Amino acid sequence: MAFDGTEGGQITLEQGADLTANYRAANPNERLGNFYGKEILEELLAQEGCKGIRMYYGQDADGNKELVLVGADSDENDILDLVVDLSQPCPNRCGKANDLNS
């Protein structure tokens, strides 16, 4: 089955809060999330043939969880011309406490 750019979907805040609470309970003292700026995400999506972004789980040398982002085409293949990480981790850059991070 091919990607067409409509994959994924919206969930409620309550569903998101449940998912992130489950993660925090199973992974105390772990990174909660990663922030990527608009410019790098737009650059990923602007690649020729890109239908969306694939996120790979990774781990840095200190054992912190990371995400590695690449574009993906309609044939479900990674576009490897641009590979993204260097996010701003939460914590310490989480913003105000809310249902997804507290």
Within-domain flag for 66: yes
Say whether 95 sits in a helix, a strand or coil: coil
Mean pLDDT of the 66-90 span: 93
Q: Annotate 68-77 with b (16+ C-beta within 10 A) or e (fewer).
A: ebbbbbeeee
For residue 65, the model assigns a pLDDT of 85
Within-domain flag for 96: no
Domain count, the chain: 1
Within-domain flag for 6: no
For residue 92, the model assigns a pLDDT of 85
- pLDDT greater than 80 at residue 1: no
pLDDT tier at 91 (50, 70, 90 boundaries)?
confident
Tokens 């700026």 belong to: 37
DSSP 90: E
Within-domain flag for 20: no
Within-domain flag for 75: yes
DSSP string, 43-64: HHHTSTTEEEEEEEEEE-TTS-
Within-domain flag for 98: no
- pLDDT greater than 80 at residue 3: yes
Within-domain flag for 24: no
- Give the largest Cα separation in the chain, rounded: 40
Domain around 57? 37-86
Within-domain flag for 78: yes
pLDDT, tens only, 17-73:
999 999 999 999 888 999 999 999 999 999 999 999 999 999 889 888 889 999 999
- Kindly state the helix (H) or strand (E) to which residue 14 belongs, with its residue range: helix 13-26
* Residues near 30 by beta carbon (within 8 Å), at least 6 away in sequence: 23, 24, 65
